[in-house]
């Protein structure tokens, strides 16, 4: 989807009977799965039975014309179909082949299936997410396992295509969801290797800088981040909360010292922050140049003027030539000459089979109709 937003022509290959299982997940908008729409907008859909000899031949002919093939089967599945990288490379040496899997193509876990919550648990991120030690593990509210693997795959594909411009050759990309979980926790692992201390869940707090967290106010919640280091904002923060006596307390001399002595500091900060409303604190901290923001609900974000100014929500048609639309999140990428564009919603199952097979393989409607009757497409 990310590549489609930026102008790539993305053709999704689905099973003739039912297609992507995500199509059956609710909630539904005018009969269309909002779950499927959220990550499949801008793509074309064709149906092919890759287990049939005819379907396999059609796929291989499409590969001859492709720049990139992306698959996310359990390792070994594409080899059993005869559609693994070595086979495709012999037909198209310029092909970039990206395999996304739970644990990668190598290692003792390679053949295991995995879903988002599995790699979040195994990758450690659930162990550092939550209210504190002794509390149950918490899954972040977004599918970090799926999303990070997809984003790293998009980056790798773009890099491989750029390299191909110089070498003329494609290559295989092995993207592991588990590997990507480790990559986004680089700080937690570096701190562990440096100190030997196992990182623990800290709620909204930062493991090094304090205060750097969400606080409860008189009527809600606010996030405050005090910049430490050479130009420590601690004195400004203390003045804003009417606790100037904390400025020269040696226990709180810098961000890390405040973190080490947080048990003594926490009740003072919590009591002070409950005295005013979120809006009052936003005005006070903004005036002092301290980074802050409200803790918004999804509904509040959807109405936020900054989000609106950036055009982060767009309406897309649910089906071709349909007047019914659905609102989706726009691409966050801004480019001066070639901006990403969400051109359309998600495709109906097999919506583009005739168009794609006709354009790339020269198949006439009668030929595609015959393939459909035999269950190949």
Same domain? For 51 and 129 the reply is: yes
Percent of the chain with pLDDT over 70: 99
Percent of the chain with pLDDT over 90: 90
pLDDT digits (tens, 9 = 90+) for 8-28: 999 999 999 999 999 999 999
146 flagged as catalytic: yes
Same domain? For 321 and 286 the reply is: no
**Annotated catalytic residue within 20, 116, 146, 219:** 146
DSSP H helices, the chain, are 2-5, 34-40, 53-63, 77-80, 85-91, 116-122, 144-167, 177-183, 186-195, 234-240, 255-260, 262-273, 278-288, 298-302, 305-309, 353-361, 365-373
CA 225 to CA 213: how far, in whole Å?
6
Same domain? For 56 and 155 the reply is: yes
Domain count for the chain, please give it: 2
Residues in the chain: 377
Q: Specify if 147 maps to a domain.
A: yes
Long-range contacts of 85-92 (CB under 8 A, 24+ apart): 85/172, 88/60, 88/63, 89/170, 89/172, 91/60, 91/63, 91/64, 92/63, 92/64, 92/66, 92/170
pLDDT digits (tens, 9 = 90+) for 222-256: 999 998 877 899 999 999 999 999 999 999 999 98
Q: Specify if 16 maps to a domain.
A: yes
Q: What is the CATH number of the domain that holds 264?
A: 3.30.1540.10
Same domain? For 12 and 49 the reply is: yes
pLDDT digits (tens, 9 = 90+) for 361-372: 999 999 999 999
CA 157 to CA 363: how far, in whole Å?
30
Same domain? For 246 and 289 the reply is: yes
**pLDDT of residue 313 exceeding 80:** yes
CA 213 to CA 210: how far, in whole Å?
8
Same domain? For 28 and 112 the reply is: yes
Span between the terminal Cα atoms of the chain, in Å: 23
List the domain range (segments joined by +) for residue 256: 212-295
What is the structure's pLDDT at 320?
A: 65
The better pLDDT of the pair 252, 344 is held by 252
DSSP H helices, 184-337, are 186-195, 234-240, 255-260, 262-273, 278-288, 298-302, 305-309
**Nearest 5°: phi and psi at 156?**
-65, -40
Same domain? For 286 and 325 the reply is: no
Same domain? For 270 and 339 the reply is: no
The better pLDDT of the pair 319, 161 is held by 161
Domain boundary among 269, 295, 321: 295
Pair type for strands 96-101 and 32-33: unpaired
Q: Is the backbone peptide bond immediately before 176 cis, with ω within 30 degrees of 0?
A: no
Q: Specify if 13 maps to a domain.
A: yes
Q: Specify if 302 maps to a domain.
A: no
What is the structure's pLDDT at 114?
A: 95
Q: What is the mean pLDDT of the chain?
A: 95
What is the structure's pLDDT at 132?
A: 81
Domain boundary among 265, 295, 325: 295
Same domain? For 165 and 71 the reply is: yes
**pLDDT of residue 268 exceeding 80:** yes
Same domain? For 94 and 120 the reply is: yes
What is the structure's pLDDT at 323?
A: 80
Domain boundary among 267, 295, 323: 295
């Amino acid at each position: 989807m990310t590549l489609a937003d930026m102008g790539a022509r993305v053709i999704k290959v689905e099973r003739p009977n039912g297609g992507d299982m995500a199509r059956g997940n609710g909630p539904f908008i005018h009969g269309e799965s909002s779950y499927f729409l959220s990550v499949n907008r801008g793509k074309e859909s064709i149906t092919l039975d890759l287990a049939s000899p005819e379907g396999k031949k059609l796929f291989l002919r499409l590969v001859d014309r492709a720049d990139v093939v992306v698959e996310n089967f359990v390792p070994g599945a594409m080899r059993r179909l005869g559609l693994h990288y070595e086979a495709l490379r012999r037909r198209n040496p310029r092909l970039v082949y990206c395999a996304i899997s739970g644990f990668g193509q190598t290692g003792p876990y390679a053949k295991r299936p995995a879903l988002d919550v599995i790699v979040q648990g195994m990758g450690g991120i659930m162990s550092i997410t939550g209210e504190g030690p002794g509390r149950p593990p918490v899954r972040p509210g977004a599918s970090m396992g799926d999303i990070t693997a997809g984003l790293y795959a998009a980056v790798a594909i773009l890099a491989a295509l750029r390299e191909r411009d110089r070498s003329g050759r494609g290559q295989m990309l092995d993207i592991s969801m588990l590997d990507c979980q480790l990559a986004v926790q680089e700080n937690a692992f570096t701190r562990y290797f440096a100190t030997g201390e196992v990182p623990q869940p800290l709620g909204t707090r930062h493991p090094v800088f304090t205060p750097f967290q969400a606080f409860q106010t008189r009527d809600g919640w606010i996030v405050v981040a005090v910049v430490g280091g050479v130009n420590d904002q601690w004195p400004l923060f203390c003045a804003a909360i009417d606790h100037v006596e904390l400025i020269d307390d040696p226990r709180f001399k810098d961000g890390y010292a405040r973190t080490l002595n947080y048990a003594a500091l926490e009740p003072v900060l919590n009591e002070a922050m409950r005295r005013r409303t979120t809006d009052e604190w936003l005005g006070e901290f903004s005036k002092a140049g301290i980074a802050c923001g409200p803790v918004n609900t999804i509904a509040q974000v959807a109405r936020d003027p900054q989000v609106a100014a950036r055009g982060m929500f767009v309406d897309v048609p649910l089906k071709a030539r349909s007047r019914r639309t659905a609102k989706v999140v726009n691409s966050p990428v801004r480019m001066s000459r070639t901006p990403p564009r969400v051109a359309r919603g998600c495709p109906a199952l097999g919506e583009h089979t005739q168009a794609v097979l006709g354009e790339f393989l020269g198949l006439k409607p009668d030929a595609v109709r015959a393939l459909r009757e035999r269950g190949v497409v």
